[in-house]
Chain A
């Protein structure tokens, strides 16, 4: 496969981080299609995956336009390899069991909702428009996953055990959601993307409220995983991309 290197300015990098996180998380959710514990949940996870895929497409299209090198959303999704992906690590972890999937969905959506709300006021008009749509979708995702976190955490011994296990695994990946580097600082200063500090308080409030109802203790803030936003990934992303990019890798000229 011929890979491409996107010219990374603070803006294209910021857009790729958002788009890659949405796309990779969407792909993990789509792995449940046909396998969810019940039909309604099969529909729900596929629906959430579809929302995220739509957000990723709009973000890639915008990133390609900002880069101005004549690339398309497909080039960005299919012609980069793992080291070029900028998603947070949490999104790429294997799908795990249902409790793991639901908790990951909740942690990411609880961040996405206030993040998109703040981004709806971006000075980048296209990004603001994407955010205005994504915000409404994120509200559904928080509600759906949040209600399941409560049901599983406060459910049977088995559902609770699995939720606690998922929480143990996922919590160290939450730190990446609030990281700030020089590129972030540049787009924050330009009023294009929100300061993670603005997103932190509403995220905390959502987590605390749902965890209290679910009977889950919030883990202590300790050492956090990091690296995805700079292209340093777990071994899982390469396998995900091999599946997701199979068609354009095998047939580079394919269009649809």
Chain B
């Protein structure tokens, strides 16, 4: 019979292992700070259960993230976990933590404007400060960038191109 404190210790170790998993496309950002890690719990049969949610429907990183979680949990000596993909509630950029936003900025990726909501279908672009120099004199080069979740922008002040984590 597993005591309650053993379960707590196992769960804490599983959470710590998951917290070390990073986004394969933004390796400075943990999946916890990205808001992709939804839940870590201990199943009735003693198996660790992990819920993750995709940023975009077609996010090709989900498979890699699930494998990384399995590897991290197994490396912690906690056996093979069950990793499930959950869709509700839908991920929005508001799920990114303040630490995650700072990690994005340090990686040269402009974080999404929190709580900005969706702009009108057509019309002016949102104001995106340059992640390198902080200038707001920036322009959008392409709505679609290096990954499904990013757009390509350029700073007119420091002339550097940068990725912008699309707000939605």
Contacts and interface: CB of A to CB of B under 8 A. Distances in A.
Instruction: Decide if the interface of chain A is mainly helix, strand, loop or mixed.
Output: helix
B152 A51 contact: no
Contact of B57 (A43, A133, A144, A147): A133
Given A50-B148, A54-B58, A136-B118, A129 B142 contact: no
A188 interface: no
A140 B121 CA distance: 8
A240 interface: no
Contacts of B121: 139, 142-143, 146, 206
A44 interface: yes
B140 to A, nearest CB: 10
Q: How large is the interface on B (under 10, 10 to 19, 20 to 34, 35 or more residues)?
A: 20 to 34
Contacts of B88: 125, 128-129, 132
A137 interface: yes
Contacts of A206: 121
B168 interface: yes
B54 A133 contact: yes
B25 to A, nearest CB: 13
B145 A43 contact: yes
B57 A40 contact: no
Q: How large is the interface on A (under 10, 10 to 19, 20 to 34, 35 or more residues)?
A: 20 to 34
Interface string B72-100: 00000000000000011111100000000
B122 A146 contact: yes
A122 to B, nearest CB: 12
Contact of B90 (A48, A53, A54, A132): A132
B90 A51 contact: no
Contact of B144 (A47, A53, A58, A129): A47
B90 to A, nearest CB: 4
A13 interface: no
A52 interface: yes
Q: Which has the most chain A C-beta neighbours within 10 Å: B142, B146, B166?
A: B142
The 4 nearest A-B residue pairs measured at CB: A54-B58, A54-B57, A129-B87, A40-B142
19 contacts: A40-B142, A40-B144, A43-B146, A43-B152, A50-B56, A50-B60, A54-B56, A55-B57, A129-B90, A132-B87, A133-B56, A133-B57, A136-B118, A136-B168, A137-B56, A139-B168, A143-B122, A144-B144, A146-B122
Interface of A: 40, 43-44, 47-48, 50-55, 57-58, 125-126, 128-130, 132-134, 136-137, 139-140, 142-144, 146-147, 206, 209-210
